[in-house]
Amino acid sequence: MIRELSLVRLALPLTLPYKLAFGAVTQFDSILVQATLDAGEGIGEATILSGYTDETIEDAWVRAKAFAGRLPGLAPDAAKTLAASVLADAPFTATAFITAIEMAEGHPLLAVDTPAAVPLLAGINATEPAGIEREIEIALRDGYSTLKIKVGFDVGHDLDRVKFIQRFNAGRARLRIDANQGYGRADGIRFARDVPPDSVELLEQPCAASDWAAAAQVAAASAVPLMLDESIYTEADIDRAARVGAAFVKLKLMKLGSLTRLAAALDRIRELGMRPVLGNGVASDIGCWQEACVARRHVDTAGEMNGFLRQRRSLVKAPLPVEGGAIRLEPGWAPRLDDAWLKTVTLDRGVFSMERQVTRACARGAHDGGSAP
């Protein structure tokens, strides 16, 4: 049974702006759901970013508070079903509730019995030659074998920058190129056709998420494999990605709603002859750890669950260890929030419990001359 839910709205500052085609991100706008069940405690996260979801942080917070009061007293399965139904149009918000409950139940995907390493990629953010060279050398020195390049700004300049990176990289690492929907159809086709394939693992989401015709045309013209990301929310989207010619599909836990559904979707990608990629570069320690736990069993590509490394300070007391370009998952490790830092970055909070509901019901019953349930 669900005993209590605690909601916290956070503004998590980043060390450096995270540059995306649709704007620079300077903080994570996040909601944490902490669930207390008879079986244990769990935490779920929703970090809301325009371009990744239609949700806004303001609406998500209002809906989360309105919904949380309905869960205390319910069985876990009933609460998860209700969250999936009521918040069907708000997958990030639903994920925070459902994964908190799954963690509190002791979901097997989060049970790390033996040490495991989940490889990550490293981002190349610099735009000037000296900065690019420095970032590549540091990433290779630290053990990363996949590098991510953001494009989607100016197609000519983007091609020149990628070619410079390819020359300096000299085949030492795989290159993952992400446009974050930054191109129109013509520019997306041009970039995909003209980018040299040297060391390029894939080209990610060059055009608008809803423009499936553009995705098909890019896939047909491209010199490198295509991956879809922002286009993917449901299992039906995965099937559609296969039909338009995508070679890779990337998933984020916050878009799938639950750990169980995420694992099934990753398997579905492989069944359709594509390769899965997993990870959210805009997530804190909570979401990144949960994704890493799933990745160790279901993914063999470099993970993108590196948002926790962008934070100015870790949200948990013992930060996720990263060594040799990989998250190190250790038996017994679980996220324990740093209460002092949490207090500093908290904008609002709310607590919803069985006891508070009984207290309110008693107060209404006394006032109305009735009896409390």
> Mind listing the pLDDT tens digit for each residue in 251-267?
999 999 999 999 999 99
Residues 6+ apart with CB under 8 A from 35: 2, 4, 5, 41, 42, 43, 44, 97, 100, 101, 103, 104
Q: What local confidence, expressed as pLDDT, does residue 51 receive?
A: 75
Calpha distance 105→98 (Å, rounded): 11
Q: What local confidence, expressed as pLDDT, does residue 368 receive?
A: 41
Range list for CATH 3.30.390.10 in the chain: 2-108+337-362
Range list for CATH 3.20.20.120 in the chain: 116-329
Phi/psi at 153 (5° precision)? -105, -80
Q: What local confidence, expressed as pLDDT, does residue 72 receive?
A: 97
Calpha distance 334→103 (Å, rounded): 10
Q: What local confidence, expressed as pLDDT, does residue 18 receive?
A: 85
Q: What local confidence, expressed as pLDDT, does residue 355 receive?
A: 74
Q: What local confidence, expressed as pLDDT, does residue 214 receive?
A: 98
Nearest partner of 202 among 154, 250, 158, 239, judged by Cα: 250
Q: What local confidence, expressed as pLDDT, does residue 362 receive?
A: 37
Tokens of 284: 């804190």
Calpha distance 111→118 (Å, rounded): 15
Calpha distance 63→260 (Å, rounded): 24
Calpha distance 285→169 (Å, rounded): 30
CATH hierarchy code of domain 116-329: 3.20.20.120
Q: What local confidence, expressed as pLDDT, does residue 50 receive?
A: 81
> What is the tens place of the pLDDT at every residue in 290-330?
999 999 999 999 999 999 999 999 999 999 999 999 999 99
Residue with tokens 């209002």: 62
Q: What local confidence, expressed as pLDDT, does residue 24 receive?
A: 85
Q: Hey, is 115 helix, strand or coil?
A: coil
Q: Is the dihedral of CA 181, 183, 185, 187 positive or negative?
A: negative
Q: Are 199 and 169 in contact (CB under 8 A)?
A: yes
Phi/psi at 262 (5° precision)? -60, -50
Q: Does the model's pTM come out above 0.85?
A: yes
Tokens of 78: 């009933």
Q: How many CB atoms lie within 10 A of CB 337?
A: 17
Q: What local confidence, expressed as pLDDT, does residue 356 receive?
A: 65
Q: What local confidence, expressed as pLDDT, does residue 354 receive?
A: 81
Q: What local confidence, expressed as pLDDT, does residue 198 receive?
A: 98
- Maximum CA extent, the chain: 81
Residue type, 234: T
User: How many CA atoms does the CB half-sphere of 88 hold within 13 Å?
Assistant: 5
Q: What local confidence, expressed as pLDDT, does residue 174 receive?
A: 98
Nearest partner of 98 among 254, 299, 284, judged by Cα: 254
Torsion angle of C-alpha atoms 109, 111, 114, 115, degrees rounded to 10: 80
Q: What local confidence, expressed as pLDDT, does residue 141 receive?
A: 98
Residue ranges of E strands in 200-309 = 200-204, 226-228, 248-251, 275-278
Nearest partner of 31 among 1, 82, 66, judged by Cα: 66
Regions of the chain short of the pLDDT cut 70: 21-22, 356-373
In CATH terms, 2-108+337-362 corresponds, of 3.40.640.10, 2.30.30.40, 2.40.240.10, 3.30.390.10, to 3.30.390.10
Q: What local confidence, expressed as pLDDT, does residue 359 receive?
A: 39
308 DSSP assignment: G
Q: What local confidence, expressed as pLDDT, does residue 358 receive?
A: 42
Q: What local confidence, expressed as pLDDT, does residue 367 receive?
A: 42
